[in-house]
Amino acid sequence: MSRVYVFLMFFILCSTSFLSIGQNSEYKINTIVIDAGHGGKDPGAVGKHCYEKNIVLSIALKTGQYIKDNFPHIKIIYTRKTDVFIPLKERPEIANKAKADLFISVHANSLENNTTTSGTETFILGLHKSQDNLAVAMKENSVMLYEDDYTNKYEGFDPKDPASYIIFNLMHSLHIDNSTSMAQHTENQFKNRVGRYSRGVKSAELWVLRKASMPSVLIEVGFISNPKEERFLKSEKGQDYMASGIFRAFRSYKEEIERHSSRTFEVAEETTNSTIEEATEIINEVYYCIQVKSSSKQIPLNAKVFSGLNNVIEKQVNNMYKYSVEQNANLKVVINKKKEIKKLIPDCFIVAYYKGKQIPIKEAKNIQKS
């Protein structure tokens, strides 16, 4: 070990302990998970001459290769690299375990008795705004029916029952800004560079996105029920084009969020100090707050995702960073505040804490009563 090396190591160790806030505010993409939909016994959509599972696997692998060639330091994890069945549940779990910075799920569309509809669409998690989006969600979520005890595994969720989606609506979707950005870059690339017809960015209640604790998108690369689009997607060239589109979208997304994080570096420290003081006052009592975000990676408190919010507080719960606002012991006050916060973060929700631990709201109320 050379002297210079020892000195460098010493310097790095010092920096990490003293400059931890600065370190944490660097938001770099290190790991991504690429999820080729379906596989094995689940063919996905069935075209005249191909299966969805094969097309999306090829595009997923090509996308990963482009990213690897251009950003060798980024770790790329595939949920599958071959024609195997992977339960829906496991796909986001792979990403969560790897603390991935981005989850990209690749799918292809189809419509029964329809050979004319075509185009790409990229989904983020959210409320479905049309019956078409609900239909895509139902179709993509239905792969859980391939598993024996899906009712237990998927918390009683029935992918074919519209009522299940009402409960889904009440659940939170996280990372909405970053997911939207990746989705927009993807559709832009498909439309402007690959020359596809883009149906745009959409939101739907997709299980695979809901369970991913990082920015995530589900890309529908086209309709294999349309013979022309099927031909394109089945061809090596078509798959290459689509993969390069996703790669370029990823590159723009990466540049965008990393540029943003370096700009916000300096103010992060001030915000942290003032919020810590306020937080300690109420930490030992029951309090409620509005959770606006959670992430496997630490996010600078003045990041774009928190813009418009005051006194964002960070909490580490089971390897996750949870961000909340409007901490207050009075639940009614927090419920009222939620109406305002909802305008900025539509999927925010109220949580309760006691002695630093997250507890059910009902339990919090009982503690307060006693």
SS3 track for 176-242: HHHHHHHHHHHHHHHHHHCCCCEEEEEEECCHHHHCCCCCEEEEEEEECCCHHHHHHHHCHHHHHHH
- Under the binding rule (CB under 5 A), the answer on residue 119 touching Zn ion is no
In the set 53, 62, 91, 107, which binds Zn ion (CB under 5 A)? 107
With residue 57 as reference, give the H or E element that holds it: helix 52-70
Nearest-angstrom CA–CA distance, 168 and 165: 5
Closer CB to Zn ion, 109 or 291, in the complex: 109
Q: Does 44 bind Zn ion (CB under 5 A)?
A: yes
The smaller minimum CB distance to Zn ion, of residues 95 and 364, is found at 95
Q: Which residue is nearest to Zn ion (CB)?
A: 107
Positive or negative, the CA dihedral 171, 177, 182, 185 is positive
- Options 25, 32, 35, 37; binder of Zn ion; rule CB under 5 A: 37
* Gap between the Cα atoms of 247 and 241, Å rounded: 10
> Closest CB to Zn ion among 43 and 227?
43
Nearer to Zn ion, 35 or 326 (CB): 35
222 forms part of the interface with Zn ion (CB under 5 A): no
How many residues touch Zn ion under the rule CB under 5 A: the total is 4
State which residue, 101 or 230, has the beta carbon closest to Zn ion: 230
At 187, the amino acid letter reads E
Are β-strands 75-78 and 31-36 bridged in parallel, bridged antiparallel, or unpaired?
Answer: parallel
Interacting span for Zn ion (CB under 5 A) from 9-17, 29-37, 77-85, 327-335: 29-37
CA pair distance 120, 59, nearest whole angstrom: 14
Paired strand residues for 317 = 320
Q: Residue 140 Cβ, how far from Zn ion at the closest point, in Å? A: 5
Least distance between Zn ion and beta carbon 44 (Å)? 4
Applying CB under 5 A, which residues contact Zn ion? Answer: 37, 44, 107, 140
